[in-house]
Amino acid sequence: MKRDLQIVDVTLRDGSHAMKHAFTEEQVRQVAKGLDQAGIEYLEVTHGDGLGGSSLQYGFSKVNEMKLIEAAAEECSQAKISVLLLPGIGIKEDLEDAVKAGAKMVRVATHVTEADVAKQHIELGRNLGLKTVGFLMMAHMAPIDKVVEQAKLFESYGAEIVYVTDSAGALLPHEVKERVSALKENLSCEIGFHGHNNLSLAMANTMAAIESGATYVDGSLRCLGAGSGNTQTEVMAAVFDRLGYKTGVELYPIMDVANNIVAKFMPRPQEVTGSSLIMGYSGVYSSFLLFTQEAAKKFNVDERDILVELGRMQAVGGQEDLIYEVAREFARSKKVPV
């Protein structure tokens, strides 16, 4: 079936953040099987911070990610497994191991101004026969000309798709439109969009992206993802069907895997809370949420203050240690025992 839009489901990767990286093999098998039967073509499976992310810095995985990739691949008859790789966290050998476990797509993610660090990883992905994607994270933190410049680098390295990635859920629909339209005008490869719902705009931003030319869009079941989660996969399936787009995704089956499987193991409902709202407002990386809540509790300070300060500092993924430094300083300034 020719698809007008490709929905990439990231429940088993972005959802790892919300699950504190504690997915079990059985949960992965159930979700992968359900997504496969619903018609999803690509589903992503790794630690929330990508291959090699299981660590003290980012949080240890309950189950080795290669085992989870292999389990998901075994459950799929037509769907393909995607993996995320952040240069500096994951290494080339991790990607080679992921291919042996069954991966068919790699999405190489960098900060929006640092695409140049991904050249060898993009080239390796192509050499391994993978569908290879460039992921420009925290896309709100750079002007449009810089986003285009960095996207062109990804394309020159061999990326077949380049994503505008709203890692903080900070972009407004017109800002998504501007970025996606600019990439569409300046690149020959396909364009994707990955949203977060911290300002309750993930679906609106996804609509702005496809209206501007994006053909790959990410979603997670029941919005299970970092911060307030991602654009909701089952909602996208319904909306796109109403609009007449062909996605290959069947509405009832995708609803069933969301409500009968994922909802049962979610640690909490994915909703726009005070903290996740501040993340979107301040432009803070969505995966900082749980770390910030833990630091606020430890130092007896307001987590919103921590997030606002991190936004002012323009903290990015990989700087999780700043969360605790900021919380400690707030505690000292308020004379809270530390």
**Does 245 carry a binding-site annotation?**
no
**Catalytic residue among 17, 47, 111, 121, which?**
17
In this prediction, residue 206 carries a pLDDT of 98
**Does 324 carry a binding-site annotation?**
no
In this prediction, residue 337 carries a pLDDT of 41
In this prediction, residue 188 carries a pLDDT of 98
- Beta carbons of 124 and 97 less than 8 angstroms apart: no
In this prediction, residue 214 carries a pLDDT of 98
Walk along the chain (338 residues) in steps of 10 and give the mean pLDDT of each run.
91 97 98 98 97 91 97 98 97 97 98 97 98 97 97 98 97 98 98 97 98 98 96 98 97 98 96 89 86 89 90 82 88 63
In this prediction, residue 256 carries a pLDDT of 98
pLDDT digits (tens, 9 = 90+) for 281-291: 998 888 888 88
**Does 21 carry a binding-site annotation?**
no
**Does 181 carry a binding-site annotation?**
no
17 belongs to the catalytic site: yes
**Does 312 carry a binding-site annotation?**
no
**Does 14 carry a binding-site annotation?**
yes
pTM: 0.92
Q: Which domains does the chain have, with CATH numbers?
A: 6-265 (3.20.20.70), 274-333 (1.10.8.60)
CA-to-CA distance for 54 and 316, rounded, in angstroms? Answer: 18
In this prediction, residue 336 carries a pLDDT of 47
Pairing state between β 6-9 and 131-137: unpaired
